[in-house]
Amino acid sequence: MPFADAQESVSPLAQTNQIIDTDVHETFPSWLDLAPYLKEPWRGLVEHKAWSGLSFPFAYWASDGLNRADSQPDSGGPAGSDFKLFREQVLETYPIKHAILTGQFFPGDMEAQFEFASAIASAYNNWVLENWVSRDERIFTSLHVAPQDPIAAAREIERLGDHPHVVQVLLPIGPAAYGDPFYHPIFEAAQRHKLVIAFHHSDRLRSALLKNRYYIEWHVNVPQGAMSMLTSLVCNGVFDKFPELQFAIVESGFSWLPHLFWRFDQNYRSLQQEIPWVKQLPSKYIRERVKFSTQPTEDFSAANWLRLIEMLESDRMFIFSTDYPHWDFDAPEESIPRELPADLRRRILYENARELYSQKLEALA
């Protein structure tokens, strides 16, 4: 029964329909919840706890660890595993028209046994569609794939890419540079199904100096993965090879973009003979084809928002996100300054994401 819970979820506030939240980290309550969606031999590996999951070297030092204290379900499952609590804390608290699920576990982080990773990805996708997407028409989701096996990833995109509430393929930013042609079957399949490619950093990301002693160091340097990913995509000709493909970089900030535009364009002017298949300035590809989610917004003023937009010569690149249920959650009113012009706030909170996901959203309208 699709959208079973939709009736009860439309609050008066939600009816204003002004926000698209592009980064919601839903998760399954436990690995055992994925078991019914797995075939053997993978099901047995999960049921018998033969696989230990992934680890992250840092403890989270925010006051309640990785998550908002109030996002812990009474049921005892992990934060982000209770659909009704999410609906109450996000969908009914803010005027959210659409929320895009991005997941919490990325099969791309599995270092070995790629067939198992692909099976986990498929199981996770089925679980999300059945347990979250089917419960509320405002919810859209990302397909999880195991990019370490690009052909299997493309097959998963073929399998579910036409689902009306699947809007993108999520690729984790870990050590892999997806500009490499090895990964292009994923882009080809995504383009064929009118899906956005969304990048989100994973626990396997490191920074330029590899080792960090502290979590805060790791967290401050997360955007480096996005900088390198954009460089990789441009230099490997991805934007011209897949001309319909649109991209989102989720949770890596954007105030570093003027720097990247200027440095990359200058390097392109000097060194383009190395990459003659790249036909235009890097900044132009990025400005036209990539959007950046806003959370975690940094500590800067409305005046600096406007300076950044002048430097970037565009107000079309920013898409709002909450990052629910993580500790650095952004509420819409607090994170996008009220002093900004109303039409710019609307661009950030709604219009830019609507344009990004228009191929799917308009088909439903």
Residue 226 dihedral angles phi and psi, to the nearest 5°: -70, -40
Cβ at position 168, least distance to its own copies in Å: 21
Taking CB under 8 A as the criterion, the residue among 52, 299, 338, 342 binding its own copies is: 299
Stretch that binds its own copies, among 78-86, 135-143, 201-209, 337-345 (CB under 8 A): 201-209
What is the nearest approach in angstroms of its own copies to the Cβ of residue 63? Answer: 8
To its own copies, the closest distance from the beta carbon of 222 in angstroms equals 9
Work out whether 137 is an interface residue with its own copies (CB under 8 A). no
Give the footprint of its own copies on residues 7-36 (CB under 8 A): none
* Member of 61, 69, 244, 333 binding its own copies (CB under 8 A): 61
Give dist(CA 91, CA 260) in Å, integer: 35
How far is 341 from 29, CA to CA, in rounded Å? 41
- Indicate which single residue of 47, 92, 188, 328 sits in contact with its own copies (rule: CB under 8 A): 328
14: CB partners within 8 A, 6+ apart: 91, 92, 94, 95, 96, 97, 138
By CB under 8 A, residue 235 contacts its own copies: yes
> Read out DSSP for 89-152?
IIITTTTEEEEEE--S--GGG--S-HHHHHHHHHHHHHHHHHHTGGG-TTEEEEEE--TTSHHH
Residues 6 or more apart in contact with residue 60 via CB below 8 angstroms:
66, 215, 327
- Select from 17, 62, 92, 280 the one that contacts its own copies (CB under 8 A): 62
Tokens of 184: 């292009």
310 binds its own copies (CB under 8 A): yes
Q: Which of residues 161-180 bind its own copies (CB under 8 A)?
A: 173, 175-177, 179-180
215's tokens = 């979590």
User: Quick one: 160 or 308, whose CB is closer to its own copies?
Assistant: 308
Give the integer Cα–Cα distance in Å for 113 and 285.
35
Q: Of residues 251-270, which lie at the interface with its own copies (CB under 8 A)?
A: 253, 255-256, 258-260, 262-270
| Interaction of residue 224 with its own copies, rule CB under 8 A | yes
Describe the crossing of helices 257-271 and 223-235 by its angle, rounded to 10 degrees. Answer: 30
Q: Which of 1, 48, 52, 210 binds its own copies (CB under 8 A)?
A: 210
Query: Closest CB to its own copies among 1 and 210?
Result: 210
Question: Per CB under 8 A, does 126 bind its own copies?
Answer: no
Q: CB of 161 within 8 A of CB of 143?
A: yes
Rounded least distance, CB 234 to its own copies, Å:
9
- Give, in degrees to the nearest 5, the angle at Cα 47 between 43 and 51: 90
CA atoms within 13 Å, Cβ hemisphere of 141: 28
Instruction: Using only the alpha carbons of the chain, give its radius of gyration.
Output: 20
Per-residue exposure over 93-121, b if at least 16 CB sit within 10 Å of its own CB, e if not = bbbbbbbbbbbbbbbbbbeeebebbbbbb
Size of the site for its own copies (CB under 8 A): 63
Nearer to its own copies, 233 or 319 (CB): 233
Determine the interface stretch with its own copies among 18-26, 39-47, 304-312, 356-364 (rule: CB under 8 A): 304-312
Interaction site with its own copies (CB under 8 A): 61-62, 173, 175-177, 179-180, 205-217, 219-221, 223-225, 227-229, 231-232, 235-236, 253, 255-256, 258-260, 262-271, 273-275, 296, 298-300, 304, 307, 310-311, 327-328
